[in-house]
C-alpha cells in the first residue's frame, strides 16, 4: 500500500468519526447547529467551525498548485504536474478524448442535479430540518473517500481507469456541498461559493489545457509514472495486466 493510500485510509476513518461526532452533536448538543442559521457563524463558537475550516482548507488546496501532499488526480490541472510525452501530441485524438469524457461528466452532473433537486424539494416541503441538509453533506464527505478507496459508482459512466485520470476528480466539494444550496446563511453559502470556484477553476483548465488531463499527452498520468497508487484492487489488477 502506498503512503498516499495509507493517508487516505486514515482520512476515511477520520471522516467516519466526524460523521459520528456530528450525529452526537445533533442528538445531545443541538445548539451547536445554531451556527448554520444566518450570521450566527460570527456570533458563537461551535465544533462545526472546525469542520468548516477543514473544508475550506481542502478546497483552497484544490485551487492553488501544491507539489506534495495533494494527489496528482486533484492537481493535474496545474503546469507543475504536467509531463509532456516525448512523441508529438495527437491533437485530434486529444479533442475526441476531451469531448467524450466531458459528455460523460455532464451525464453525472445531470444525475446529481436530479438527486439534489429531490433533496431540495423534500426540504422545502418541510420533510426535514436544515440539520439534515448538513448531515447529508457530511455523509457525502464520507462517501467521497469511499469512491476513491473502495468503489466509485461514477466510474460506470465515466469509464475512467482510475482516480488519477478521472475527469471529475475536483468536482467532489461541489457535489458534497450542493445540498447546502437550500440552507442559506454564511456557513452554507461560503462553502457552496468556494466549491463552485474550485469547480470553475477545474473546468476552465480542462478547456484551456486539455493536454494535462489525458494520459496520452501527460506522461505523469500513466500507470508507469504513478506515485499516488490510490488504485482499488480492480485498478491494480488492470495495471499489472498492462
Q: How is residue 160 annotated by DSSP?
A: -
Cα–Cα distance measured from residue 120 to residue 112, given in angstroms and rounded to the nearest whole number: 12
Confidence at 242, pLDDT banded by 50, 70, 90 = very low
Residue 31 CB coordination number (10 Å): 9
Residue carrying C-alpha cell 461526532:
21
Whole-number average pLDDT of the chain? 92
Residue 219 CB coordination number (10 Å): 14
Phi/psi for 218 (5° steps) reads -115, 105
What pTM does this model have? 0.93
Q: If DSSP codes are grouped into helix, strand and coil, which group holds residue 108?
A: helix
Nine-digit cell at 193?
Answer: 461559493
Q: How is residue 27 annotated by DSSP?
A: H
Report CA torsion sign: 137, 139, 142, 145.
negative
User: Model confidence over 150-208: pLDDT tens digits?
Assistant: 999 999 999 988 889 999 999 999 999 999 999 999 999 999 999 999 999 999 999 99
Estimate to the nearest angstrom the gap between the alpha carbon of 140 and the chain centroid: 10
Nine-digit cell at 144?
Answer: 467521497
Cα–Cα distance measured from residue 129 to residue 123, given in angstroms and rounded to the nearest whole number: 7
Residue carrying C-alpha cell 461559493:
193
Alpha helices in 29-129 (DSSP H): 47-63, 72-75, 91-124
Q: For the chain, how long is the longest CA-to-CA vector?
A: 62
Mean pLDDT of 138-155: 95
Q: Determine the Cα angle at 205 with ends 199 and 211, to 5°.
A: 135
User: Model confidence over 222-232: pLDDT tens digits?
Assistant: 988 888 888 76
Cα–Cα distance measured from residue 37 to residue 187, given in angstroms and rounded to the nearest whole number: 8
User: Model confidence over 87-133: pLDDT tens digits?
Assistant: 778 899 999 999 999 999 999 999 999 999 999 999 999 999 999 99
Amino acid at each position: 500500500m502506498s503512503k498516499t493510500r495509507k493517508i487516505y485510509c486514515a482520512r476515511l476513518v477520520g471522516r467516519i468519526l466526524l460523521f459520528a461526532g456530528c450525529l452526537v452533536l445533533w442528538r445531545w448538543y443541538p445548539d451547536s447547529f445554531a451556527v448554520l442559521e444566518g450570521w450566527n457563524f460570527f456570533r458563537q463558537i461551535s465544533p462545526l467551525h472546525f469542520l468548516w475550516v477543514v473544508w475550506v482548507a481542502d478546497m483552497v488546496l484544490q485551487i492553488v498548485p501544491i507539489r506534495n501532499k495533494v494527489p496528482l488526480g486533484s492537481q493535474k490541472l496545474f503546469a507543475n504536474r504536467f509531463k509532456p510525452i516525448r512523441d508529438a501530441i495527437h491533437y485530434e485524438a486529444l479533442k475526441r478524448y476531451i469531448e467524450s469524457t466531458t459528455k460523460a461528466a455532464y451525464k453525472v452532473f445531470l444525475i446529481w442535479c436530479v438527486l439534489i433537486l429531490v433533496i431540495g424539494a423534500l426540504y422545502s416541503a418541510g420533510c426535514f430540518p436544515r440539520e439534515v441538509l448538513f448531515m447529508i453533506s457530511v455523509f457525502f464527505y464520507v462517501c467521497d473517500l469511499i469512491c476513491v478507496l473502495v468503489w466509485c459508482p461514477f466510474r460506470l459512466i465515466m469509464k475512467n481507469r482510475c482516480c488519477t485520470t478521472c475527469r471529475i476528480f475536483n468536482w467532489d466539494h461541489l457535489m458534497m456541498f450542493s445540498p447546502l444550496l437550500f440552507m442559506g446563511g454564511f456557513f452554507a453559502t461560503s462553502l457552496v461559493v468556494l466549491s463552485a470556484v474550485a469547480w470553475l477553476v477545474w473546468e476552465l483548465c480542462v478547456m484551456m489545457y486539455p493536454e494535462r488531463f489525458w494520459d496520452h499527452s501527460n506522461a505523469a498520468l500513466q500507470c508507469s509514472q504513478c506515485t499516488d497508487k490510490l488504485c482499488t484492487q480492480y485498478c491494480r489488477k488492470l495495471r499489472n495486466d498492462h
